[in-house]
């Protein structure tokens, strides 16, 4: 079985070493690089071209969000999963807009972190209860910037695109969606690309978050 190549970016040596040991002991991950700063991490991402990057959100110098933004601008073909010590809604929404493929707490159990990274690699995104609760917090929604997509507007989606969107929000991978809808993986990829373009979003995680955020708006409107 091919290993998923992984780059670790975290300024805490002890925590970074623990992550390296955790993933190194797994049969399906290969840690190809470790960086102690955001700038070093960006340079390693360019030179090593890992399939996944596990990125600490809070670092001195370049922050995780700044690193994420620069990696996005470089258009590297890698998934970036943000690792954070605390859940903050504004940071979560910013990370989603910058194309994060995952968002996970540092206190996550080791086996759960391995499973989360595997799911991200497969394209199966599951929003845990903490993330859903953050997205359901509408205290900031009245001040949503004009460029944000309206979480209630799905009128420009085709029926198949709407079905695909719902299955992404349910945490299904492309292969699972293809089986569910009786279509090919390639067709699912086209639907996903269309969804990102039509909704002005950047990742599967942001698509899933968009659905949950819209659901919370609809719930509040009914009450």
Highest mean pLDDT of the ranges 60-64, 195-199, 219-223: 60-64
Residue 46 has pLDDT above 90, yes or no: yes
Does residue 155 share a domain with residue 118? no
- Would you say residue 141 lies in a domain? no
Three-state SS across 10-45?
CCCHHHHHHHHHHHHCCCCEEEEEEECCHHHHHHHH
Please indicate, yes or no, if residue 87 is contained in any of the structural domains.
Answer: yes
Q: How confident is the model at residue 213 (pLDDT cuts 50, 70, 90)?
A: low
| Residue 100 placed within a domain | yes
Q: Which two tokens stand for residue 211?
A: 């659905």
pLDDT tens for 98-108 read 888 888 889 88
Q: Report pLDDT for 214.
A: 61
CA gyration radius, the chain: 17
Residues spanned by the domain of 65: 4-122
pLDDT band of 126, cuts 50, 70, 90: low
Residues 182 and 115 in one domain: no
In percent, the amount of the chain with pLDDT more than 90 equals 42
Domain assignment of residue 130, yes or no: no
Residue 127 within any structural domain of the chain: no
For residues 111-116, average pLDDT: 92
Q: Is 40 inside any structural domain? A: yes
Task: State the CATH number of the domain containing residue 90.
Answer: 3.40.50.2300
If asked whether residues 91 and 157 sit together in one domain, one would say no
Domain count, the chain: 2
**DSSP for residue 214:** H
Do both 18 and 65 map to the same domain? yes
Residues above pLDDT 70, as percent of the chain: 81
Could you tell me if 32 and 50 are in contact, meaning their C-beta atoms sit under 8 angstroms apart? yes
Q: Note the maximum CA span of the chain.
A: 52
Residue at which a domain ends, from 122, 156, 181: 122
In 3D space, the residue among 197, 118, 213 whose CA is nearest the CA of residue 156 turns out to be 197
- Give the tens place of pLDDT for each residue, 146-184: 444 444 455 688 899 989 988 888 878 888 899 999 999
Residues 104 and 181 in one domain: no
- Residue 128 confidence (pLDDT): 66
Q: pLDDT class for 204, splitting at 50, 70, 90?
A: confident
């Amino acid at each position: 079985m091919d290993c998923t190549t992984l780059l670790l970016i975290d300024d805490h040596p002890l925590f970074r070493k623990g992550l390296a040991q955790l993933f190194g002991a797994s049969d399906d991950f290969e840690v190809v690089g470790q960086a102690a700063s955001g700038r070093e991490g960006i340079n390693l991402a360019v030179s090593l071209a890992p399939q996944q990057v596990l990125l600490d959100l809070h670092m001195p110098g370049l922050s995780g969000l700044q690193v994420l933004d620069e990696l996005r601008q470089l258009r590297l073909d890698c998934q970036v999963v943000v690792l954070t010590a605390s859940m903050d809604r504004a940071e979560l929404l910013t990370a989603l807009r910058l194309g994060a493929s995952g968002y996970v707490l540092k206190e996550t159990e080791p086996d759960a972190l391995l499973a989360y990274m595997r799911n991200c690699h497969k394209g199966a995104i599951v929003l845990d209860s903490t993330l859903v609760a953050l997205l359901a917090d509408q205290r900031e929604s009245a001040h949503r910037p004009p460029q944000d997509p309206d979480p209630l507007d799905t009128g420009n989606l085709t029926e198949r695109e709407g079905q695909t969107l719902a299955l992404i929000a349910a945490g299904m991978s492309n292969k699972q969606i293809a089986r569910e809808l009786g279509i090919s993986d390639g067709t699912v990829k086209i639907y996903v690309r269309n969804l990102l373009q039509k909704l002005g979003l950047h990742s599967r995680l942001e698509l899933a978050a968009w659905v949950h955020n819209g659901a919370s708006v609809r719930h509040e409107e009914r009450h």
